[in-house]
Amino acid sequence: MELIKELNIWRDKLYNLKLLGVTKEGIGYGNISCRYKDHFIISGSGTGKLKHLTNEHYTTVINYSVEENTLTAVGPVIASSESLTHAMIYKNQSTVNAVFHVHHFALWKKLLNKIPTTRANVTYGTPAMANEIVRLFKETNLASEKIFVMAGHQEGIVSFGKDVNEAGNILLAALNT
């Protein structure tokens, strides 16, 4: 699938920059997604530990409910725990077609509370985080900055854009400032 090829070009770049990867404890971190028709394709849970991904490492989220904390995905892997976060970005910005969630402590610390930042008591992968995305769109310039810090998820940074190149280049620009 062409969309996954495009995702994987950036996924490999992010992995090589150690923005996606695996902790010393063996836990994979980071995830990427792209809009696909009325749904979105997202990397599977724990795939950060893999050097290269193939089609079998992605799944398509076809339905979700923040209120019920549920998700329906079709594919060979379990959807990332951050799927609700990605879903809320797509829902709130119809022009967004790619979302990247990466980890980088130095960048996280540098950007914390200087760009749109979630509240520190909001943990990742929860309905509270999904609702926090809505708050950021309403109360900050997130729609134009297209990058935010997850204060309650140490190292967590999310960027998004009209395509994978914009989402990735926003991250690279933040790294190089």
Calpha distance 147→100 (Å, rounded): 9
What is the model's pTM? 0.96
- Strand 70-74 versus strand 58-65 pairing type: antiparallel
Look up residue 76 and give its DSSP letter: S
| Chain segment 103-136, per-residue pLDDT in tens | 999 999 999 999 999 999 999 999 999 999 999 9
Structure tokens at 129: 């985080």
**What CATH class does 2-175 carry?**
alpha beta
Cα atoms found within 13 Å of the Cα of residue 150, Cβ hemisphere only: 27
- Residues 164, 9 contacting (CB under 8 angstroms): yes
| Chain segment 7-52, per-residue pLDDT in tens | 999 999 999 999 999 888 888 889 999 999 999 999 999 898 899 9
